[in-house]
Structure 1
Amino acid sequence: MPMPATALQEQLITAVRQNDAAAITRLLAEGADANAPDGRGFTPLVLAAYDDHLEATRALLAGGADPNRPVGGGNTVLMGVAFKGHTGMAQLLLDHGAELNARNGEGSTALMFAVLFGRHEFLDLLLAAGADATLRDNKGQSARDLARQKGNDHALTVLPE
């Protein structure tokens, strides 16, 4: 008898939190949804990436998780890992089609998050990948403007004028 969808999803979230790629792969094959949000609105991919669970993230991406699906406020997974500063995770997401210049509801990008939170390696990675530093948020501010406000000297050094 097949397991109810809610039980599959709960098991998937548990496997994600445990970074258990084998269980994730099995649960996705049994019908769990790699893109279904939990009760707080977070997808399994957001949870895995935010906790820097590389194996879980790989399994979810292989199982059809969408790296560009927005969650609360329109933030993408890449924006979430920019907040945390997980550069290895960012590279994995970019390698699987994460939109480099995606914007949230405020018009902010992952590059802007990296500047705001002082994630220098993350900022360098995004710039090397071709992030558009000229984009402006809904308040008209660029990543460079945000760097000035935050006193982020590294960002001011590497962001184009």
Structure 2
Amino acid sequence: MRNASRKSFSLACILLAASLCQPPVAAAGVYEDLRSAVENDQTSEIAKLLARGADPNTPDERGNTLLMVAVRHKNAKLVDLLIDAGARLNLRNKYGETAIMLASYNGLYNIVEKLYVKGAEINHAGWNPLLYAATTGHPKIIQLLLDGGAAINSTSENGTTALMMAARGNHTDTIKVLLKNGADPNIRNESGGTALKWAVSREYLNAAELLKSGGAKE
């Protein structure tokens, strides 16, 4: 009888260990349902899934969180819902992007403001929200970020500034805002490029004149 009990106990331990090693199928299913709901802007369904314990910070294969997906869908209500559910604001995807960087790139002023107020980082090294907003030309967001303390002459890993990106895109209104706030037009990136050189090489004459009036040297 003792041997039978021991065998039974050992079998139970093996089965328990095996069950603990199994992937959390139910949790994975909830997460997939949650991602699908976010992509389809199903706010009420998202609220239900979050209430069931779905983790809003689980990334996909590219490191994109649900908050990033909500930003890409330009859905401020979903952003609110995910933040309230504990979404971490400064997680990065495999490209080094944060939710506020994506919002800045897409010109989503209200979402940028919301994320900043909630504590999203705007002044980190490398590509940052300011450079992203300048790339696509969003002067209002540029001013918001600068008012929040973003370093106007911050650079990407290769030395590119927000002013260079604004010049590259021929975003004259953005150039004006950056110069007005003290952007240095004579910073060079690691290849020796400047904002003026980029504007001239692309024959953006108005942008080039703005830069020269702001102190850019040939």
- Unpaired runs of at least 5, structure 2: 1-51
Q: Which consecutive segments of 4 or more residues in structure 1 shift more than 4 A?
A: none
> Quick one: distance in 1 between partners of 2:114 and 2:77?
8
- How much has 1:39 moved relative to structure 2? 4.7
Alignment root-mean-square deviation, CA: 2.3
> Which whole-Å CA distance do the structure 2 matches of 1:64 and 1:127 have between them?
27
Amino acid at match of 1:108: T
Q: Is the 8 A contact 2:171 2:207 kept in 1?
A: no
Deviations 1:61-96 (A, max 9, x none): 1111111235xxx32222122221122222222222
CA distance in 1, matches of 2:188, 2:94: 32
* TM-score using structure 1 length: 0.83
Compared CA separation, residues 39 and 156, structure 1 to 2 (3 A): closer
Q: Which has the higher contact order (CA 8 A, sep 6+)?
A: 1
How many corresponding residue pairs? Answer: 158
Q: Does 1:140 align with 2:186?
A: no
Secondary structure of residue in 1 paired with 2:57: helix
Question: Is the alpha carbon distance of 1:4 and 1:99 closer, same or farther for their aligned partners in structure 2, counting shifts above 3 Å?
Answer: same
Which structure 2 residues correspond to residues 27-42 of structure 1 after superposition, within 5 A?
27-42=82-97
Structure 1 unmatched ranges of 5 or more? none
Deviations along 1:90-149, whole A, 9 cap, x unmatched?
222222222210111211101011112211111111101110112111123332233332
1:64 aligns with 2:123: no
- Taking a change above 3 Å as real, the CA distance of residues 40 and 113 of structure 1, as seen in their structure-2 partners, is closer
2:67 corresponds, among 12, 23, 42, to 12
2:107/2:138 contact within 8 Å kept? yes
How far apart are the structure 1 equivalents of 2:97 and 2:149? Answer: 19
Task: Report the Cα distance in structure 2 between the residues aligned to 1:138 and 1:40, rounded to whole angstroms.
Answer: 21
Q: Tell me how far apart the structure 1 counterparts of residues 80 and 132 of structure 2 sit (CA, whole Å).
A: 23
Percent identity reads 30
